[in-house]
Amino acid sequence: MAEPSAATQSPSVSSSSSGPEPSAPSGGSPGACPALGAKSCGSSCAVHDLIFWRDVKKTGFVFGTTLIMLLSLAAFSVISVVSYLILALLSVTISFRVYKSVIQAVQKSEEGHPFKAYLDVDITVSSEAFHNYVSAAMVHINRALKLIIRLFLVEDLVDSLKLAVFMWLMTYVGAVFNGITLLILAELLVFSVPIVYEKYKDTSKTPWNRKEKGRISTWKPEMQQLLKHHLIVITLLLVL
């Protein structure tokens, strides 16, 4: 006779042990990334803030620099791009060094080397830090090697066939785009789609505001057309 009562009490016990349900975020700054949590909010939050344009100057500098680099690589060889970048950097530093030397000679001041503060910075990598980086990299390398062996030696026929179909489709993509063009397209999408999504998403259906479980958050109707036109324009610009 005690079994039915225990059965009736088990749902309440399991529900209480499973922890509280996610509640709505209590305010927070616009730059916070609620989807990541406090524990993983490190480099991931920095990337999140970067692609969502939290700091316009920082994101603009990163976006502009990388885009110029990719466009330069698309027009010139890697050797030419690297050489021009080094020449540009040396032109700035040498010009500033000569300028400060002339100013010090005219004013008869003894300020010293203009880059002395940066020259004194210790940039050496300790053996412990180097081993940590190598260990972290080896984890990903070993995982990639296992995946490659599993796919090419057909451990799972379905996964190997998926890879073959994907590579076959990529041959058509490669006939239209080259690698640099795909990187430019990826960067334009990374720095434009998230901010458009954040601006036009339907906040009433986000995970912390929806009432029905299993209901997927949707976008506003005009956002789908905006993103579609956005992708078409970027693709046509890169193809032409």
The model's pLDDT over 78-125, given as tens digits with 9 standing for 90+, comes to 899 999 999 999 999 999 999 988 888 888 887 778 888 888 888 888
Domain that holds residue 218: 207-239
Q: Please indicate, yes or no, if residue 221 is contained in any of the structural domains.
A: yes
Angle at 16 between CA 11 and CA 19, to 5 degrees: 130
Q: Please indicate, yes or no, if residue 228 is contained in any of the structural domains.
A: yes
pLDDT computed for residue 116 by the predictor? 84
Q: Please indicate, yes or no, if residue 225 is contained in any of the structural domains.
A: yes
Torsion on CA atoms 85, 90, 93, 99, rounded to nearest 10: -130
- Residues 131-158 have pLDDT tens digits of 999 999 999 999 999 999 999 999 999 9
Q: Given a cut of 80, is residue 71 above it in pLDDT?
A: yes
Q: Where does the pLDDT of residue 8 fall: very low under 50, low under 70, confident under 90, or very high at 90 and above?
A: very low
Q: Given a cut of 70, is residue 180 above it in pLDDT?
A: yes
Q: Given a cut of 80, is residue 7 above it in pLDDT?
A: no
Closest CA to 111 of 125, 96, 133, 127: 96
Please report the beta strands in the chain, taking only residues with DSSP state E, as ranges in sequence order. none
Q: Please indicate, yes or no, if residue 227 is contained in any of the structural domains.
A: yes
pLDDT computed for residue 107 by the predictor? 84
Contact (Cβ atoms closer than 8 angstroms) between residue 49 and residue 31 = yes
* C-alpha span between 52 and 92 (Å, rounded): 31
| Domains in the chain, number | 1
**% of the chain with per-residue pLDDT over 70:** 65
pLDDT computed for residue 75 by the predictor? 87
pLDDT computed for residue 4 by the predictor? 46
Q: Please indicate, yes or no, if residue 31 is contained in any of the structural domains.
A: no
Contact (Cβ atoms closer than 8 angstroms) between residue 74 and residue 180 = yes
Q: Please indicate, yes or no, if residue 215 is contained in any of the structural domains.
A: yes
Q: Please indicate, yes or no, if residue 224 is contained in any of the structural domains.
A: yes
Q: Please indicate, yes or no, if residue 217 is contained in any of the structural domains.
A: yes
Q: Is 37 left (phi over 0), alpha (psi -120 to 50) or beta?
A: left
